[in-house]
């Protein structure tokens, strides 16, 4: 029992932390970087060919915690378990853990002979997880059916809708085209073939669990209108310790396949005013390998059940009797049919204004003909972002300023408001020396000097070879 408690403790602890790399406000619209086409397939491209340095062309890491929970948990000379008890009550069922990691393995692009179309293709590995914190279930597990003062809670009701999580690891083969329609409009699309390695999910659950006492002060558990499913794929091999080998086998063998589509555009109202927009990951993955779905449905009433304090004498007999009682009243099935996991769609839009017309006599700020921003040195604008998650959309808004420093160096400063913070300043640079392109960016600039107490830190970098 102690081992189970420790595992659950770690899981809920990490649900206090938020790690995500979804909103790439630095990359979006940064035309000198080939990876910006993954955020907007309709982005403009002025070079003729690019080759990403394998495994180094696109790396993005973002870690976030709320209310400085890390420093509070591990404060010196304070009991960790006591801190955790306080954290449970600070959190709500709207708090979530979100992890999104992406590593680019291959990225290549080239312009067709018609000069209007730019083709790009490649492969990247992705991990995506969203888990909402089931506060009532966590409190019940650690406190039992008692309040903070040690009094029995009568008619405690738990809503199964609060159990929402979805996590998967997969590979993505992709090919896209960006077409220049005319001087004002550029459109694009990207087709994706998903190859799933792992998945676990439980969403759209219904029903309630009520824990109460009968007239004889005995515990009674009542399930009303229960309809819940817990599905997973590829997790059997994980339990055997073959995480990496199983991921490679499942991700490349083609057993769990899916399709996706990205759409985007760039429109110039005039030379100095531009609108961008894109919709990403309109798609799904069909999981059919090493699958298990546990389904529970119906109504049930169990007398004398206290799942958090089973009797010390003959506990196996206790649970056997409970199982017989449950099986007689409710449908519990283990299914091995394939199931579909829909990707969470993402929407970007950006409007920016360019100013500071380039003066060809200013040698220090001369801009080469191979660079996208030929006529202006500055850009200022706003960017909106949304990802449609299982419970509700997560939104972000950014203000940004871009400046061409020299012929070889361009910078971008962003200020972002999102689900994690109302203030987040980031800065990034992109440089091109000959054919070699290097970019890097960091968010939460003011928190870098105190990472222990920082709520958010983000780092991205990439390397490419770009040919005119």
Q: What is the mean pLDDT of residues 237-245?
A: 62
Q: What is the pLDDT of residue 458?
A: 73
* 6 domain-assigned: no
CB atoms within 10 A of CB 216: 8
Q: What is the pLDDT of residue 14?
A: 42
* 446 domain-assigned: yes
Q: Which residues contact 334 (CB under 8 A, 6 or more apart)?
A: 292, 293, 294, 295
Q: Which residues contact 220 (CB under 8 A, 6 or more apart)?
A: 211, 212, 213, 214, 301, 302, 303, 304, 305
* 4 domain-assigned: no
User: 177 forms bridges with which residues in the sheet?
Assistant: 119, 189
Domain span at 393? 18-467
**Buried b or exposed e, range 251-283, using 16+ CB within 10 angstroms:** beeebbbbebbbbbbbbbeeeeebebbbbbbeb
* 330 domain-assigned: yes
Total residues found in the chain within this entry: 468
Q: What is the pLDDT of residue 418?
A: 79
Residue 445 has pLDDT above 70, yes or no: yes
pLDDT in tens, 174-187: 999 999 999 999 99
Confidence class of residue 350 from pLDDT cuts 50, 70 and 90? very high
Q: What is the mean pLDDT of residues 76-88?
A: 63
pLDDT in tens, 29-66: 888 899 999 999 999 998 999 999 999 998 877 665 55
Question: What is the tally of helices (H) and strands (E) in the chain?
Answer: 8, 23
In 3-state terms the chain splits into helix, strand, coil percentages (rounded to 5) of: 20, 50, 35
Residue 312 has pLDDT above 80, yes or no: no
Residue in 188, 229, 225, 184 with CA at minimum distance from that of residue 205: 229
Question: Of 157-171, 272-286, 354-368, 373-387, which range is least confident?
Answer: 354-368
* 91 domain-assigned: yes
Percent of the chain surpassing pLDDT 70: 73
Q: What is the pLDDT of residue 6?
A: 42
Q: What is the pLDDT of residue 253?
A: 61
What's the pTM?
A: 0.82
First to last CA, the chain: 64
In this structure, what DSSP letter does residue 344 have? -
* 336 domain-assigned: yes
Tally of domains in the chain: 1
Give dist(CA 382, CA 147) in Å, integer. Answer: 47
pLDDT in tens, 377-429: 999 999 999 988 877 888 889 999 999 998 889 999 999 887 667 778 889 99
Q: What is the mean pLDDT of residues 5-13?
A: 41
Average pLDDT, the chain: 79
Q: What is the pLDDT of residue 406?
A: 86
Residue 123 has pLDDT above 80, yes or no: yes
Q: What is the mean pLDDT of residues 253-263?
A: 87
The highest-confidence range among 19-33, 103-117, 233-247, by mean pLDDT, is 103-117
Q: What is the pLDDT of residue 310?
A: 59
pLDDT top residue among 62 and 110: 110
Query: Tokens standing for 270?
Result: 């005039």
Residue 361 has pLDDT above 60, yes or no: no
The burial class, CB within 10 Å (0-12 / 13-18 / 19+), for 423 is exposed
8 A C-beta contact, residue 431 and residue 437 = yes
Question: Of 285-294, 322-331, 357-366, which range is least confident?
Answer: 357-366
Q: What is the mean pLDDT of residues 238-255?
A: 63
* 211 domain-assigned: yes
pLDDT in tens, 127-139: 888 888 788 887 7
pLDDT in tens, 192-234: 999 998 899 998 889 888 877 777 777 778 888 888 889 998 8
* 7 domain-assigned: no
CATH of the domain at 159: 2.40.160.40
Q: What is the pLDDT of residue 303?
A: 72
Query: Tokens standing for 24?
Result: 């790439």
Percent of the chain surpassing pLDDT 90: 35
């Amino acid at each position: 029992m102690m081992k189970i408690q420790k595992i659950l403790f770690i899981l809920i602890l990490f649900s206090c932390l938020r790690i995500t790399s979804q909103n790439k406000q630095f990359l979006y619209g940064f035309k000198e970087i080939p990876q910006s086409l993954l955020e907007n397939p309709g982005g403009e491209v002025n070079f003729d060919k690019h080759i990403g340095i394998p495994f180094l062309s696109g790396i993005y890491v973002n870690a976030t915690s709320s209310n400085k929970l890390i420093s509070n948990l591990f404060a010196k000379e304070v009991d960790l378990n006591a801190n955790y008890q306080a954290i449970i009550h600070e959190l709500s069922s709207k708090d979530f853990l979100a992890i999104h990691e992406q590593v680019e393995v291959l990225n290549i692009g080239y312009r067709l002979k018609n000069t209007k179309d730019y083709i790009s293709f490649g492969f990247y590995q992705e991990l995506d997880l969203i888990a909402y914190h089931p506060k009532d279930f966590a409190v019940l597990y650690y406190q039992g059916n008692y309040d903070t003062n040690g009094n029995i809670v009568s008619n405690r009701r738990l809503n199964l809708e609060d159990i929402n999580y979805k996590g998967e690891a997969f590979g993505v083969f992709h090919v896209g085209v960006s077409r220049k329609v005319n001087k004002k409009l550029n459109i694009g699309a990207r087709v994706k073939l998903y190859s799933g390695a792992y998945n676990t999910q439980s969403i759209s659950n219904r029903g309630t669990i009520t824990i109460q006492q009968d007239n004889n002060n005995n515990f009674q558990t009542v399930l009303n209108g229960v309809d819940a499913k817990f599905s997973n794929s590829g997790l059997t091999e994980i339990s055997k310790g073959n995480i990496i080998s199983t991921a490679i086998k499942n991700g490349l063998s083609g057993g769990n396949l899916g399709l996706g589509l990205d759409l985007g555009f760039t429109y110039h109202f005039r030379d100095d005013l531009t609108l961008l927009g894109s919709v990403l990951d309109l798609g799904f993955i069909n999981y059919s390998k090493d699958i298990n779905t546990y389904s529970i449905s119906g109504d049930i009433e169990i007398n004398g059940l206290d799942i958090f304090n089973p009797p010390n004498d003959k506990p196996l007999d206790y649970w056997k009797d409970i199982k017989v009682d449950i099986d007689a009243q409710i449908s519990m099935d283990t299914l091995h049919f394939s199931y579909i996991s829909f990707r969470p769609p993402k929407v970007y839009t950006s409007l920016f204004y360019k100013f500071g017309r380039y003066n060809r006599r200013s040698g220090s700020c001369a801009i080469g003909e191979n660079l996208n921003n030929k006529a202006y040195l500055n850009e200022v604008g706003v960017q909106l972002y949304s990802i449609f998650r299982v419970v509700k959309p997560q939104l972000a808004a950014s203000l940004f300023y871009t400046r061409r420093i020299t012929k070889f160096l361009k910078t971008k400063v962003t200020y972002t408001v999102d689900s994690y913070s109302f203030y987040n300043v980031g800065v990034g640079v992109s440089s091109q020396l000959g054919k070699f392109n290097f970019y890097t960016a960091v968010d939460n600039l003011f928190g870098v000097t105190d990472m222990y107490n920082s709520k958010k830190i983000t780092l991205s970098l990439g390397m490419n070879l770009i040919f005119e």
